[in-house]
Structure 1
Amino acid sequence: MNVLEIVESYGGGVRTQVDQINQYLGGKVKLTTVVSSKRGAKNIPSDYLIIDEMSNPMNPLKLIRSLLKLRKIIRKNKIEVIHFHSTLAGVFAVLLRSLFCVKIPFVYTPHAYFSEGLEPGTKKKICLFVERLIIKTAQVVVHVSRDEEGYAYENGLINGVKKSRVVLNGVRDPKYIREYKDNGVLNILNVARATHQKNPRLFIEIAKKMIESMPEIQFKFIFAGDGKLLESSRKMVEDNGLSDSIDFCGYSSNVSDLYKQADVFLSTSLYEGLPYSVVEAMSFKLPLILSDVVGHQSLIDKNGFLFDINQSASISMKKRVMNLKNSKRYIEFSMASYRKFQKDFDVAEKMNEIFNIYKGVNKEL
């Protein structure tokens, strides 16, 4: 079976899943992967094809050029299934189907619907309309969490159960042995791109409030990841005189060491599909503090807590953080994270589920 992966934004969780598909399914299907090198993409594998014009859809000439290149790849490689990742790639699915009459099966993974992060209004209505077109074009929509699938049903993106599949994001088990340590410092980590969706400003605001309200605890906050808000976030930290306590370290090639050094994982995202970074944190037995948004809600199961992004300075936040300084409670949260990881997020199992989806849609058309 010849499968084409199309990725416009090759970064974050999208990159992780596409690389996993190539790693785990490369021996089962013949894969061709097309990405754009724009939008901060780094270290693209040499066997991936690059079409940078995909990142300029508002330029009619580049849009047509990218569509023609994709059609050529589809014909040359005798593609039987196409998997589109994220919203913009989904738009290419609609255009390939409507303008070039590409009839082969389409699989679509939104990796968090773009409309999730929009306030009610005209812009969100337009975005939902586009997302409905994408979903109508696809044979199967792969949601990476029950939360994400629930959002799709609630907003009328999907009607009926046949089209939707839930395949949770998975990672390898690092087999890390975590022990409670009270060395006087509470290390709080986030691994994310410094973008609007990941909300680095709130990360800084929470850090500032914790440092000010709990002087008896020495905090160290680490935000690992690059992105267009990286420099402005660093400036905000400096302007608030917090450089000794908050480090926006940028991209890390050895993120495993950061998980090992951390005590708690904090995510301030405005919306998610199902973040790989949180799953990785669970695999390293970290307690979780997550914003109460789609994509996070199903990850909390006696292993941490959710917080309202509009009430991040609440007394309950302080009490819960103080709770993590209790060795018994910390170990309970830590082991609950790992149990949930083992139960739900085995990467080999998740890749096999995607393989079965490819086989299923290939038989249907």
Structure 2
Amino acid sequence: MVIKIVLVVPSLRKTGVTEVVRNLLLQNKVKQCPVEFSMIVLENNYSENWNVFKKLVQNFYVLPGKSIISFHKIKKFRDIMKKIDPDEIHFHGFNSELYIPLVKNKVIVTTAHNMGIEDFIYNYGRFVGNLMARCQKCIYKYVSQIVGVSLTVSEHYKSLGFNNIVTIENGVEVPKHVVQNDVLNGLRHPIGVCVGNVDIRKNTVQILKTFREGHGIGTLLIIGDNPKDKQYFLNIKNKYQTSNVIFCGRTENVFQFLKGADYFISASKDEGLPMAAIEAMGENLDLILSNIPQHRELKKSKEDNIYFFSNKDQLINLLKNYKTQWMAIKNTNNRQNYLTHFTSSIMFNKYLQLYLDLSEKEGV
């Protein structure tokens, strides 16, 4: 018996959310499981990424227009649901969750990719962020199963009174053959990579200030931009770019930068479970991370080369110590940690079991 599942995502912009979905679909294709996926994309943009997903699903729909929700989109959404008649519907991201109340008599799964209110406030301000959190809490009353991408995220929603929560950690697929980007040629080692949006939540400025004040080591690559505030990104770039701090912009293939690097660094204030750090772990890079619960979950044993800092002084000391201990050839347990806990195959197997359990429970 084949289980029909519709995945609903806000857009196909390359983010941690879309990478989770892509890896889920890729594994389903490889393992030929009894699951038939369809996909609904709510925003009509980033069409350059559509073909990748079209090949991985049975049905692929992009709702018209760039707004998240409208009367026309609601009608189209309902028409698609009636046509496919899925057994389960799996939502990813808050914007997609706005459509949950429209679904009746179906098994509903949503993956919580962040801590809700904390993420909302960082991105939209305190007033709007609080409204979004209240809205999400109401919406989750309609959900059959909430999936937290980390124990920290799951505990957050449990504290709000939800008990229908399981934790499935994010998983990634590290490509076997990667060509190193030319920008790394001739750079001074050790080379650090910071990946993600350059914004307040990611706290990139803390790292940049440390390097500007002469406490940095080797070379730092900044991979990312700020699509919501391009001027903010340009101001940061103009202020901090030097010969040893290189802004590389957004990339579709972060592995070409990780390939030739030595360590990954993040000062993020809030995460779900950071895909970029897991990707770096898969390339066997050392990790230097802010001391937040979601980062601490990545360290599964004392042998893992993952180091944490809580303030600027601790970051400075970590970088100084790393410089003295760093070697071109070294032993690290990080890739084994990735293989044991954070592959896309491991993630998919857990989602597959969840789908099967829900199907049996609901009598699908």
TM-score, normalized by length of structure 2? 0.82
Q: Residues 264-291 of structure 1, C-alpha deviation per residue, up to 9 Å, x if partnerless? A: 1112333211121111100111111222
Residue 143 of structure 2 is aligned with which of 123, 138, 141? 138
CA distance in 2, matches of 1:225, 1:78: 39
Shift in Å, 1:191: 2.1
**Unaligned 5+ runs, structure 1:** none
Cα pair distance change 1:152/1:250, threshold 3 Å: same
Equivalent residues in 2 for 1:36-185 (5 A)? Answer: 36-37=42-43, 42-45=48-51, 47=54, 48-53=60-65, 55-57=67-69, 62=70, 64-94=71-101, 96-97=102-103, 102-117=104-119, 118=121, 123-154=128-159, 156-158=160-162, 160=163, 163-174=164-175, 184-185=188-189
Describe the SS at the equivalent of 1:108: strand
Residue 324 of structure 1 is aligned with which of 322, 325, 331? 322
After superposition, the CA RMSD in angstroms is: 3.0
Matched letter for residue 296 of structure 1: H
Shift in Å, 1:157: 4.6
Shift in Å, 1:225: 5.1
Contact 2:305 2:332 in 1 (8 A): yes
Partner of 2:57: none
Cα pair distance change 1:218/1:364, threshold 3 Å: closer
Residue 358 of structure 2 is aligned with which of 352, 357, 361? 361
Describe the SS at the equivalent of 1:84: strand
Shift in Å, 1:298: 0.8
Partner of 2:210: 209
Matched letter for residue 197 of structure 2: R
CA distance in 2, matches of 1:22, 1:121: 35
Shift in Å, 1:123: 4.7
Residue 2 of structure 1 is aligned with which of 4, 14, 37? 4
Contact 1:190 1:265 in 2 (8 A): yes
1:237 aligns with 2:244: no
Shift in Å, 1:147: 1.4
Describe the SS at the equivalent of 2:221: strand
Describe the SS at the equivalent of 1:341: helix
Partner of 1:258: 257
Describe the SS at the equivalent of 1:335: coil
Contact 1:173 1:283 in 2 (8 A): yes
Cα pair distance change 1:150/1:35, threshold 3 Å: same
1:24 aligns with 2:27: yes
Partner of 1:337: 334
Q: Residues 314-352 of structure 1, C-alpha deviation per residue, up to 9 Å, x if partnerless? A: 1x21111122123468977x6232232122112112112
Matched letter for residue 168 of structure 1: E
Contact 2:193 2:264 in 1 (8 A): yes
Residue 350 of structure 1 is aligned with which of 333, 344, 347? 347
Describe the SS at the equivalent of 1:44: helix
Shift in Å, 1:173: 4.5
Alignment coverage as a number of residue pairs: 337
TM-score, normalized by length of structure 1? 0.81
CA distance in 2, matches of 1:42, 1:295: 32
Q: Residues 70-125 of structure 1, C-alpha deviation per residue, up to 9 Å, x if partnerless? A: 1111111121110000112112102x14xxxx211000002113312338966554
CA distance in 1, matches of 2:95, 2:254: 28
Partner of 1:249: 248
Partner of 1:293: 292
CA distance in 2, matches of 1:183, 1:9: 36
